Amino acid sequence: MGPGEDLTTTVRRRRAERRGAAIVRAVGGRPDAELRGGTLRLGHRRVGLASPHLAADLGEVSPARARGVADSLGLLVCHSDLDLHRELAPSEPLERVVFDLLEQLRCESLRPTAWVGMDHNLDAAFREWSEQCLGERIAESGVGLLVFTVTHMARTRLVRSLTTEVIDEVTEGQRFTLAPLIGEDLVALRANRHDQRAFAFHARAIAEAVALVAGDANLAAAGEGVDRSTLLLSGWDEDDDGTGLTGVLGATSARAGDLDRLGDYQVFTRAFDREVGGDALVAPNRLPGLRAELDRHRKAQAVSAARVAQRLIRALARPAEDDWTFAEDDGELDPARLAMIITDPVEHRVFRQRRLRPLADVAVTFLVDTSGSMKQQRYEAAAVLVDTFAQALDLAGASVEVLGFTTRSWAGGKAATAWKKAGAPASPGRVAEIEHIVHKDAATSWRRARRSIATMLDIHHYREGLDGEALVWAYRRLAAIEASRRLLVLVSDGAPMETATSGVNRLGFLDDHLTAVAAALDARHDVEVGALTLDADLSGIFRRSRSIDLDGTLSLGHYEVLADLFG
């Protein structure tokens, strides 16, 4: 969340980005496309294209503009070879911006002509961006006006003109300067729009001419008189290096000691962090009531933990060779029955076989997001799901941990205060006090931990969430448990959110850390990590991810999700 931004605003933005991502996936034909923190990702890869007219907070702009931005990104995903684009792109910042926006407009020019609704959306998004620039006095912005002008000139050639008398008046001087320098290349753009490499030749020539006119390719000048976010997308200059992660995050090569040092993630202070048992979250006299409430919810679902346990044993346990059966018709020759071959040649039952018995040599950790946004989900049903799983796995002989994560305070609390007292240094990293909750540890049976688990129904501690650090914490606990198989399940409704930290670091700081942690753990192979998501899609972050609908009464089918993730 941004500075001073409330939870409602953040939830609205995330829902808008999920709707936008669905459009990108449909138009672009990429099921792994995601929009998070104002950035387009394809799987774990950040797509850092700098198209000014797509710089929009989808949660704050009109629905038409949001649809137009999503359609534009979908066309980009569909028609642009991103590796070729990176290969051909110039390195100078201003040249890169112009080159990127021309590639975006090339893709928009290839839109299906029969899709009238898409045309309307693209025009609406571009028109509203233009009006926003004019409202922010683009004429006084130096390089910003240059970018604004060339964007309109190129769109007129490639898509259609949306200029007005006001725009013509504002851009007249820059058009007069640019026309002799880029006129021939502008004409060539449309003729080569079906050939990305040929198109790029002319796009680079235009980009170089614009940088020449600017006299200085330093984009800091774009911020004079106009909000920089109006002209540039988040993370435009942090394109992926092709390894599968965003540029600053080299997570896939992380070793055991590297989980605290992924990318640019850092912690300003840990002095106010705490780990607490679930039963310490509420007054002792409230524990019986919360457990009774959870039992009522569980009774309503009419699902037997014993039946779930039987299914989990079949899905997750591996056979263990622990004994022999004798007098078998085949198998290994039994040394004790060798004499029978001589005394009774027709006797065939002289073999032995290993007896295979299901043994749940499995450790499972449920890491439950207890941030404020979960209060808007069916957190009661999530508690029922996790509690039933915990009992069933306990019955099956598996080790189980139920963990939660939140913050001790809203808006950073004492950690944010300490940062301010230290002079509020820039890019401080995490400036919040985290609270990690142990509802059930591996050494405690479900029966003994059942009251502590029930404190998931108390929402007074549901504040904000730092998913990446919580995932590292849960992983380290799980890795210390002796088991032949370890499963870590994140139960969450979306990406991280913490007001103070998001407000004083770069956009996407927390999202990128979660992505890096997930990739690092996935590369280690000692723990299998998966995500169960409520009203969200985290498949772009977790290789194993399932969305689960907790509306209505839970059935036995809901409990197949663990086997779906790890079976």
CA torsion angle 42 66 73 51 (round to 10): -110
Q: Which pLDDT does position 212 carry in this prediction?
A: 87
Helix, coil or strand: residue 437: strand
Options 3.30.420.40, 3.60.20.10, 3.40.50.410, 3.30.300.210; CATH of 281-309+360-499+531-566: 3.40.50.410
CA distance 336 to 302: 52
CB hemisphere CA count around 345 (13 angstroms): 0
CA distance 462 to 13: 20
Helix, coil or strand: residue 384: helix
Q: Are 510 and 2 in contact (CB under 8 A)?
A: no
CA distance 403 to 547: 20
Q: How far is CA 268 from CA 251, 406, 501, in A?
A: 21, 18, 10
Q: Which pLDDT does position 487 carry in this prediction?
A: 93
Residuewise pLDDT in 10s, the chain (567 residues): 444 445 566 667 778 888 888 999 999 999 888 887 677 888 767 787 667 888 778 888 889 999 999 999 999 999 999 889 989 998 888 888 899 999 999 999 999 888 889 999 999 999 998 888 888 777 666 778 888 899 999 999 999 888 888 888 888 888 888 999 999 999 999 999 999 999 999 999 999 999 888 874 344 444 444 444 555 544 444 444 332 322 222 333 333 347 877 888 999 999 999 999 999 999 999 999 999 999 999 888 878 888 888 888 877 766 555 566 777 777 676 777 766 666 666 666 767 776 545 556 789 999 999 888 777 667 888 899 999 999 999 888 888 999 999 999 998 999 999 999 999 999 999 999 999 999 999 989 999 999 999 999 998 889 998 999 999 999 999 998 888 889 999 998 877 888 899 889 888 889 889 988 998 898 888 899 999 888 777 888 888 888 887 777 777 778 888 878 886
Q: Which pLDDT does position 439 carry in this prediction?
A: 96
The stretches of 63-222 forming alpha helices (DSSP H) are 63-79, 82-88, 93-109, 116-135, 143-158, 165-191, 196-214
Range list of β-strands (E), 253-379: 274-277, 318-328, 332-333, 351-359, 362-369
Q: Which pLDDT does position 121 carry in this prediction?
A: 92
14: closest CA among 56, 44, 47, 59? 59
Q: Which residues contact 332 (CB under 8 A, 6 or more apart)?
A: 351, 352, 353
456: closest CA among 381, 559, 389, 555? 381
Work out the burial of residue 239: count CB atoms within 10 Å of its CB; fewer than 13 is exposed, 13-18 middle, 19 or more buried: buried
Q: Which pLDDT does position 482 carry in this prediction?
A: 84
Q: Where are the domains of the chain?
A: 7-231, 281-309+360-499+531-566, 323-356
- β partners of residue 399: 363
Q: Which pLDDT does position 450 carry in this prediction?
A: 92
In one-letter notation, the amino acid at residue 54 is: L
